[in-house]
Structure 1
């Protein structure tokens, strides 16, 4: 017994020693990955000394004697704080995530490889002007030196059992390509969806479901476009010209005309369980990568300069997309000082203020890509061009997969772009996209750091290569302006929202707009400008931009109306607009529920319906506040009704073409949806219930049932189902789901937040304002800046998570970096 006890104690001691050794090793590796905050380090690539100061939030002020040394120091600090994030950006657009995450990323990598972005990035670098190449080289040297000076591998690579790969100049281009993927369609999904609809529906039906305008339009030039009228004949039905379709497809779209009176209920239940299932995802369909920005001129600002406000809406995770920084350096006998947000992986300030101008962005959603229907020979080995038939060019892409053998993808290329699939008739489709051209990316935007006024900023914007953005800019003389920043293709022929044939040469891109041709608005008479991803301008300017899937104008309209509600504005008053969570868009849906759905006849015998009506009547002013049950009820009812109403139509389209996506057109559907539920026509043949009232009742029953079901599956009273309960944040590190125990240290606290998608304060569970900036050039000391998560990507950093609470609560926090707490001096060799 004593011997057994001694063996047990000995094994316990050895095990404890092994565990302690492993824990010490892991601790040392993780601790060694913390950035250097103080002291002096000699860094290869610097021509002179550079200084990195950080305040208590980790916001960096980088000082150097020239712009190239600023780039070296920026690369150094990005690598030290955010290298894993940078690595994900380059791998995301290069289609190389499988080498980190294994087989689960292979399908995504395959879908991205057809764009061959790494090859395109190399070509772009080779064609950049020398001064831009020098900047990339300086930044790259800084990144690799920053990685080298970490005492340990960034902790993410320890968990993944990988080693980081050094940075290259092309990787910075790839980081920007990742923003193209985030902000524009990389697969032509919207155009393919509209193409299917146009091919299968009568012209009046297609126009009805694809309206050109709505009551929510709030263009800065005041243009309005009317929605199409309701179809008068029974619909949907394939037009006569679709007689080429096979019988089973034709019948698939029309058979509902004899069944809509009641035989489809079972099918609807099945479809609903698929299309409208899972409380986590079911009501999260509204979020839209984009942003808000607006500006007021100096004659209505409290500073006398223009004031620019900007909040860019993206998916939010740990760490945040942006890294806050201030650059100070001499240039042409003047001292440049610029403050704002950088994108780790790139060397410049993305949005900010330099004392003379301030600028911000919202995603443009113009039409910067086109799907092309190819005419091919019988065996699909050649395709027709204006110069006759040409053979497809085949490119082999090898995808490395962690712990597995590599796989290959063959990419078919045309003169217009890669082949991306087939349409519902089996015709091959090619993709023409700005991202495929050398004009897509350059570093000309760095000139904004020294721009003096709005007109100079306009010229820089028209020469810059980024995913096309609505640029809002103001200067210290009080001028304000809007333009597009990024390349705009010059299109000829019948090119619009749907795939077209380009074989004759009549349809084509003829280069890109010159700076003189760019749409722009300078100093409007009423001294206010605004954008929010919806249509910004009309007529000739709209014709240059096209429609790539604009957001509904509800946010723009609400911002516009708030801007005209006061005669002058301070930074705090513009922040108040950014935090506006009033649900103006849903006010009419609240009235619809009360007046058209929750009638006395409907309520009779339905205690839940009576309770719902009581809840709705208590909130005369609907607000997306955390404690509101009424807001959640109205919001979710609208989504449930919309998805149910179009469920059979969507199911039919999806059966004909897997690339059909209701999500891609969900915002434009609001206008026909409202027309349908208010007119309640009998000629809509795919209504999934025998009567409109039955449809409304079913959608409401489903909404209430979902609200009464908590995330763990238990039941709760309807009165407890608040908006905050549904809109509780889940802002996580990319690895916390894979290794759940680390989420405790990595993820941000889960808190209920107000706001939603159709109001200025855009806020979802893991989506929303990736930054909020309100700044008046020349008055940066009174500017405001919010950013979720924090500067650091390391959970042991002294400023990890700092600033996040200000973003959550909407408290005004400083635009400029605060008092220096940490100082690192980088010395040249």
Structure 2
């Protein structure tokens, strides 16, 4: 017995020793991945030296004697704080996620490999001008030095049992390609969807479902596009599309019950500016919040650059320097948005038409396709996709002179994809020149030469001027090249290169002294024709921002922030009235006892807001989604049966226009209603809404905040739930939603909020979710997040220096 006790005691001691050793090893590995905050390090690649200062929130100021050394310092910091995030961005664009995450990422990698972005990145790097290439090389040296000075690899690689791969120049180009994937369609789904609708629906029905304008239009030039009239002839029935499964609609809704109330979020943003004649200081003021998916860490990294002007225009005795503050993107060396004390600039996704789906005419065995010079053979490119824990997979990418083959339409016709992202004009480093721009006009010139995913850019300068333009490449199209697939076989339809700087749309100093963009159509006339329509958002946000701007005569930073935090439900107000008038009839109330409480709630709520305590807002919002799903469910199911590439999501914003007309006019020729009467559709949508809201609770407890709980997570926390407590941001009820300035979903919303007046940056405001750090043991992990949640005006400029690291050259 004593012998057994000794054996057990020995085994216990050995086990404890193993656990202690393993725990110590794990702790040292995780702790070793923390960035170096203080001291002196010798870094390869510096021309002179760089100083990296951080404030209490980890916001970085990089001081150097030249721009190249700033790039080295920024690369160093990005690698130390955010290397795993950078790795995901380059792999996302290159189609190399499966090598990290295994077979679960394989299908996505296959879809992205059609674009061969890594090869294209290498071509772009090879043709960059010397000054731009030097900047990327300096940044790359900084990244790899920063990675080297970590005592351990970022902790994510420990969990994945992988080793980080060093950064290369082409990886910075891939980072920008990753933004192309996020901000533009990489698979042509919207154009394919519209093409299918145009092919199988009558012309009047298609025009009705694809409206050009609405009452929500809020273009900066005041232009209005009319919506199409209600079709007079009978709509097609589900049977005309050979839909045999009558229960498909309801099955689909049940399967997607958890996701059906997701908002109509799309990568977008808001931006608005007022000229100096309306500001308290005489300088113009700009506000910008960029809407993206939000996770840990955040997309952006806050920084300030300080370096001297080595080529001052004035005399040598007049020493000039640059100070640029704003948001950087880990993976690239420039300031994305911010202020240089002369101008401030911000972006919103433009949703212009930067891609086209091409109908291919092929020979009988589909080995050749017709071009303006005759039939040509397809070209093939083999792609090897590495997959973690299994054999690599080989795929073949088929290409045409216009771009890759992306599939077939509903008639079996092959489709090719022409996309700005495939051309060398897609990416360059010209946007770094914004750091030195002195006024709106100079910024316009830089924008017209820049290679980034094309954005609306608003600029405000210290002289009081404001301006709007497109930054990024705009294709020069001829022929019938638009929103639906067309043939390019004859040469009548084609791209003739790209617009020259002189052709770029722009507007400077409008008479109203105000500018605004929010992903809807910005301009009309010839400028709209040059930009095209790549799937604009409904103008509800733009219109609300515009109206807020015109409701005030003098502005400062706080008043512009207030516009960005506006959660008033202007868009849904008419839906509230519709429910009260057309849904809650006396007969409906008499047949459903719960409807009386709905009427009382909506009648009492005179100012509908997406506030966390509002039951009325959640009710009206969810009713609209259920009603929309019901009205268009038969049509969606029918079109999906014809072509699996059909995507209702890609057209959901503009579908509000025909939806509103349908439910108000209630036409009898709409044969795809799915129910016996319009009133039945309304009643069932409200009943479904109430049933979902009152699961295990009373209606008056079902607040919007209960549904709109933040879910901001690290990419690995789902795979390893035990670590989510340390990595994820705490869940919190948040105000805001899709169709209002304060865009906010569970894990979507303002990835930053900036309000700044050039030369008055000390009064500026900057919010950012999560924090600067990607490491949960960082002293500033999560700092600043609560300001973002609560809309508290936090400073634009970095605060007092808490940490100082000096980088010396060899």
TM-score, normalised on structure 2?
0.98
Q: Measure, in 1, the Cα distance between the counterparts of 2:258 and 2:19.
A: 39
CA offsets per residue over residues 374-412 of structure 1, 9 Å max, x none?
000111110000000000000000000001000011000
1:390 aligns with 2:376: yes
Aligned partners of 2:565 and 2:741 also within 8 Å: yes
Match of 1:556 in 2: 542
> Do the aligned residues in 1 keep the contact of 2:48 with 2:808 (CA within 8 Å)?
yes
Q: CA deviation at 1:133?
A: 0.5
Aligned to 1:253: 241
Counterpart Cα distance in 2 of 1:273 and 1:803: 43
CA positional deviation for 1:253:
2.3
**1:646 and 2:632 correspond:** yes
| Corresponding residue of 1:811 | 792
1:759 aligns with 2:737: no
Would the aligned equivalents of 1:361 and 1:469 in 2 still touch at CA under 8 Å?
Answer: yes
Q: Spell out the pairing of 1:68-467 with structure 2 (5 A cutoff).
A: 68-236=68-236, 251-253=239-241, 267=246, 270-275=248-253, 277-331=255-309, 332-333=311-312, 334-467=320-453
- Relative distance call for 1:80 and 1:153 in structure 2 (3 A) is same
Matched, 1:771 2:741: no
Shift in Å at residue 277 of structure 1?
4.4
- Measure, in 2, the Cα distance between the counterparts of 1:656 and 1:112: 25
Q: Distance in 2 between matches of 1:276 and 1:74?
A: 49
Give secondary structure in 2 for the equivalent of 1:774.
Answer: strand
Q: Tell me, in whole angstroms, the C-alpha distance in 1 between the residues paired with 2:585 and 2:92.
A: 52
Query: Matches of 1:4 and 1:86 in 2, distance apart?
Result: 55
Q: Which residue of 2 aligns with 1:544?
A: 530
Which residue of structure 1 lines up, in the alignment, with residue 768 of structure 2?
A: 787
Secondary structure, counterpart of 2:588 in structure 1: helix
Q: Given that residues 727 and 753 in structure 1 are in contact (C-alpha distance below 8 angstroms), is that contact kept between their aligned partners in structure 2?
A: yes
Query: 1: distance between equivalents of 2:213 and 2:580?
Result: 27
Instruction: Return the offset for 1:616.
Output: 1.3
Matched-pair contact (CA < 8 Å) for 1:491–1:508: yes
Q: State the match for 2:315 in structure 1.
A: none
How far apart are the structure 1 equivalents of 2:416 and 2:272?
Answer: 37
**Aligned pairs, number:** 802
Matches of 2:20 and 2:593 in 1, distance apart?
A: 61
What is the aligned partner in structure 2 of residue 574 from structure 1? 560
Cα distance, 1:410–1:757 mapped onto 2, change above 3 Å: same
In structure 2, relative to structure 1, the CA distance for the partners of 1:531 and 1:736 (3 Å cut) is same
2:657 aligned with 1:666: no
1:623 to 2:609 alignment: yes
- CA gap of 1:504–1:31, structure 2 versus 1, over 3 A, is same
Q: Secondary structure at the match of 2:401?
A: coil
What corresponds to 1:55 in structure 2? 55
1:646 is paired with a residue of what secondary structure? helix
For residues 448-491 of structure 1, give each alpha carbon's deviation from its aligned partner in whole angstroms, at most 9, with x where no partner exists. Answer: 00000000000000000000000000100000000000000000
Indicate conservation of the 8 Å contact 2:241/2:642, yes or no: no
The CA deviation at 1:304 is 1.0
Give SS of 1:572's match.
Answer: helix
The 2-side partners of 1:703 and 1:302 are apart by 47
Contact 1:84 1:156 in 2 (8 A): yes
Residues 552 and 566 (structure 1 numbering): CA distance in 2 closer, same or farther, change over 3 Å? same
- Whether the 8 Å contact between 1:272 and 1:644 is mirrored in structure 2 is no
Cα deviations by residue, 1:573-609 (Å, 9 ceiling, x for unpaired)? 0000000000000000000001100111001131221
Question: Unaligned stretches of 5+ in structure 1?
Answer: 238-249, 257-265, 710-714
| Structure 2 unaligned residues grouped into runs of 5+ | 313-319
The offset of 1:618, in angstroms, is 1.8
Q: Give the Cα–Cα distance (whole angstroms) in 1 for the partners of residues 536 and 419 of structure 2.
A: 17
Asked if 1:520 is matched to 2:506, the reply is yes
Q: Residue 776 of structure 2 aligns to a residue in which SS?
A: coil
Separation (CA, whole Å) in 2 of partners of 1:336 and 1:326:
10
SS in 2 for 1:324: strand
Say whether the 8 Å CA contact 1:276–1:643 is kept in structure 2. Answer: no
- Native 8 Å contact 1:586 1:634 kept in 2: yes
Q: Answer yes or no: is the 8 Å Cα contact 1:276–1:282 preserved in 2.
A: no
Distance 1:828 1:255 in 2: 70
- Residue in 2 aligned with 1:657? 643
Distance in structure 1 (CA, Å) of the matches to 2:243 and 2:387 = 46
Secondary structure at 1:604 match in 2: helix
Which moves more between the two structures, 5-14 or 506-515?
Answer: 5-14
CA contact (8 A) 2:263 2:745 kept: no
Change (3 A) 1:594 1:661: same
2:595 counterpart residue number:
609
Q: How much has 1:234 moved relative to structure 2?
A: 0.2
C-alpha displacement at 1:6, in angstroms? 2.0
Question: 40-49 or 284-293: which moved more?
Answer: 284-293
**Backbone CA RMSD of aligned residues:** 1.1
Find the residue that maps to 1:290 and give its secondary structure: coil
2: distance between equivalents of 1:22 and 1:184? 46
Alpha-carbon shift at residue 279 of structure 1 (Å): 4.4
- Partners of 1:27 and 1:59 lie apart in 2 by 26
2:684 is equivalent to residue 716 of structure 1? no
Match of 2:458, SS state, is strand
Change (3 A) 1:385 1:435: same
- SS state at 1:446 partner: helix
Match of residue 711, structure 2, among 726, 730, 744:
730
Looking at structure 1, the residues matched to 779 and 770 of structure 2 have their Cα atoms a distance apart, in angstroms, of 13
CA distance in 2: counterparts of 1:232 and 1:605, whole angstroms: 34
Deviation of 1:278 after TM superposition, in Å, equals: 4.1
In the aligned structure 2, how far is the partner of 1:212 from the partner of 1:21?
Answer: 67
Residues 1:799 and 2:780 are matched in the alignment = yes
CA distance in 2: counterparts of 1:755 and 1:255, whole angstroms: 39
Is the 1:554–1:585 Cα contact (8 Å) retained in structure 2? yes
Is residue 479 of structure 1 aligned with residue 457 of structure 2? Answer: no
Question: TM-score, normalised to structure 1's length?
Answer: 0.96
Distance 1:640 1:320 in 2: 32
Secondary structure of the residue aligned to 2:457 is strand
C-alpha separation between the residues in 2 aligned to 1:618 and 1:9? 71
After TM superposition, give the deviation of residue 280 of structure 1 in Å: 3.2
**Structure 2 residue 690 is matched with structure 1 residue 704:** yes
Work out whether residues 86 and 175 of structure 1, in 8 Å CA contact, stay in contact via their aligned partners in 2: yes
Supply the distance in 2 between the matched residues of 1:254 and 1:70 (Cα, whole angstroms): 62
Per-residue deviation, residues 786-812 of structure 1 (Å, max 9, x unmatched): 000000000000000000000000000
| 2:37 matched residue in structure 1 | 37
Cα distance in 2 for partners of 1:401, 1:61 equals 39
Residue 214 of structure 1 deviates from its aligned partner by 0.3
Aligned-pair CA distance for 1:536: 0.2
Determine the C-alpha separation between the residues in 2 that align with 1:406 and 1:608: 58
Contact 2:285 2:557 in 1 (8 A): yes
Q: Which moved more, 1:623-632 or 1:611-620?
A: 611-620
Structure-2 separation of matches of 1:550 and 1:658? 23
Equivalent-residue separation in structure 2 for 1:785 and 1:285 (angstroms): 25
Give the Cα separation in 1 of the matches to 2:282 and 2:400.
54
Partner of 2:317: none
Q: Distance in 2 between matches of 1:144 and 1:288?
A: 34
CA apart distance, 1:437: 0.2
Once the two structures are TM-superposed, the CA of residue 5 in structure 1 deviates from its matched residue by 2.1
The secondary structure found in structure 2 opposite 1:536 is: coil
